[in-house]
Structures are given as C-alpha cells and as structure tokens.
Amino acid sequence: MTQATQYGARARHSAQAYANIGLETQVFSASPEHLITLLLNGALAAMAKARLHMQNNSIDGRGAAISKAIEIVESGLRASIDEDAGGEVAKSLIATYDMVIRSLLLANLNSDYDKLALAERMLTDIREAWRMAADCGN
C-alpha cells in the first residue's frame, strides 16, 4: 500500500469518525420531534444507498442497506409510537410503517425498484407531514 493510499484511507476513517460524532451530538441534544426527523432521514438515506446497490447489482450491499432501513423504521419509528395516546392516527401510522417494511422486504427479495420507490415515497410523505406539524408547533 502506498503512502497516498494509506493517507486516503485514514482521511476517510477520520471523516467518518467526525460524522459519527456529529450525529451523536445531534441525537443527544435533540428534542423528541428532531429525533423522529433524524430517524426518517436515516431510513431514507439507507434506501438511497439500497437503490445505488441495486443499480450496481450488489446483492450484499442492497441487503445491508435495506436491513438498515427496516431496522430504523421498525425499531426507531414504529416502536416510538404510543398507540394508546395516539388513537386512530397512531394506528394509521403503524399500518403505514408496516407497509413500508413489507415493501422493503419485497424490494430486497426481488430486487424490485418499484417496491423500493414506494417505501421511499411513503416515508418522504411522512417526513414532509412531520415537518409541517413541527413547524406549526413552533
């Protein structure tokens, strides 16, 4: 390995470590509303990576990216819903998150761009509605 290659690898590692610290800082100082925004953005970023891996026929990369998106939706977004306090809105949101997860599973299983796009559209719509609701609250 040349010195330039070693330097490039260290620079990428340093940049990733810096990004991770920045994200940790955002998470620890975030309001609950901002945490939901971070989760939605993270899931959408993972889906964008999955699309790129699909285009490059990278099965492992696609699977890892879709798994990350599913984990964020299931363990972060869906798990944060208080169904008792949220009533019908919470039930509808849970059903939507279940549809997103199902679409992601099918997208991965069949390398299906349409199912991935559907999941992205649903989460993008939720993110936009969430932003509008958060803006109204401020």
CB 51 within 8 A of CB 118: no
Pick the CATH number of 31-137 from 1.10.645.10, 3.40.50.720, 1.20.120.340, 3.30.300.30: 1.20.120.340
In the chain, domain spans: 1-30, 31-137
d(CA 97, CA 103): 10
Neighbours of 29 (CB within 10 A): 8
- pLDDT tens per residue across all 138 residues of the chain: 445 555 555 545 444 444 444 545 555 555 778 889 999 999 999 999 999 999 999 999 999 999 999 999 999 999 999 999 999 999 999 999 999 999 999 999 999 999 999 999 999 999 999 888 877 765
d(CA 126, CA 123): 5
Complete DSSP assignment for 73-93: IIIIIGGG--HHHHHHHHHHH
pLDDT recorded at residue 16: 46
d(CA 14, CA 84): 44
pLDDT recorded at residue 75: 95
CB 105 within 8 A of CB 89: no
